[in-house]
Structure 1
Amino acid sequence: MGERVLARFAGPNGEIAVVEEASGARLYREGGVNQSCVLPGGEAGVAYVRLMASLLEGSASVLLLGCGGGALAGMLHRRGSCVTVVDVNPLSFELARTFFWMPAGIECIAADMSGFLRRDARTFAGIGIDVGGPDFSYEAALAPATVGGVRRALQPRGRIAVNISCETPDDAMPGRIAQRFAEARLEVWMYMESGAPGSEANAVILASNRRETAAELAAVAEAGWWLARLGG
């Protein structure tokens, strides 16, 4: 048995489809690109989301910029965090609750990332950033002014975890974005997903407002990631 389409919607970056695989896992597909994979019950089906959850776990309050299938929000909510999710597309929240098991107790705000950061004065113990899509620009979305807004929203001893989808494992984009967080006076580390040359991979940047140790950070990653300190 193959996959089946549960729903289709018009989205800002092309058609949004919710697809269920034979295993029961569900995909959030936008413009023909898989943005999320969520296992039955709401756990993440992709390694980088599980890594971000491990890095932000234990934060009393978490701000997530980007909703996708809502797996990261749901995982942190179930582990005891008070979670606020911001996404420019309000349809994402409806899809996450209806098809991807995101709990109803999560605060959802429809706004663009930079606008929310300018208007909302709250601070958070953890911040996760997972935004993207067809023709997406990380350099534009995470401009220095926006990074500054994220930094101001971070509490003392807080952590920021940022996912960067890379065209190849040697993509220079994660390093450029990491440098912006280092310039915001944060300790910066990067996890890079191992992959064959020329293949797509994910990088997860950790920008921390406290001192971290390599041993503790390495222990939270699954097999297939390497870790490096970049600055701060």
Structure 2
Amino acid sequence: MKNFKYLFLGAILSSASLFAQLKPVQYKDETQILNGLAIKPSKASAQKPGILVLPAWKGIDPHAKTTATDLANLGYYAFVADIYGEGNYPQTTAEAGKIAGFYKKNTDLYQKRIELALEQLIQSGANPDNIAVIGFCFGGTGALEAARDHLKVKGVVSFHGGLGKDANRAVTPITTKVLVCHGADDPFESKEEVAAFQQEMRDAKADWEMVYYANAVHSFTDPDAGNDNSKGAAYNEKAAKRSFEHLKLFLNEVLKK
């Protein structure tokens, strides 16, 4: 089983060689310094499709980096967003929960950070008319916010992301295509919240799809999440592989290559 957990994202490589092509990019939200990562496709196409990667609640992690690298190997420009900014990176789960919760409540600030990262993706070479947003956990929530806020993207993909939104927020038509990859046993999303999200998609007349993965809980795509489902968050190799295949199908549909 040596290094088997990283099969979700492609060939098995050492961390150093895997992330070698990722270029640090410093940008700003007014005075707040942000530190993202950009990577160009191994073989660029004329359509220059781009994908923004929104990390989980602890910020840019190995999983986000590996995802961006894997997408570049598939022919996409990719950019890993820094939502929190320099000096605000959480060191513990308690800190992560607090700062992620802040952005979930202040969605306008979250959406602004997503827009700034999209600008960096475009500056790196991606076609502004050929972009998708994907995210994991907290980042999955951000991907859905990109659709709700009508950002100029062709599609969004949420992996085990938070689905809820303030019920007082108006539901407006969503033209961006939406894919949600969801653990069938995820304890952090109630039946009521799932039902409310699905109704929101219907009311918004969205082109949406929600795929459930058996025996999968929260964080099922992250190899560093452990393998104990009883904790509510755990890696599931089969669900990770399947969801990545669903991602590829979705991207082939919504982005030109």
Name the TM-score, length of structure 1 as normaliser.
0.40
Q: Structure 1 or 2: larger strand share?
A: 1
Name the TM-score, length of structure 2 as normaliser.
0.37
Q: Structure 1 or 2: larger helix share?
A: 2
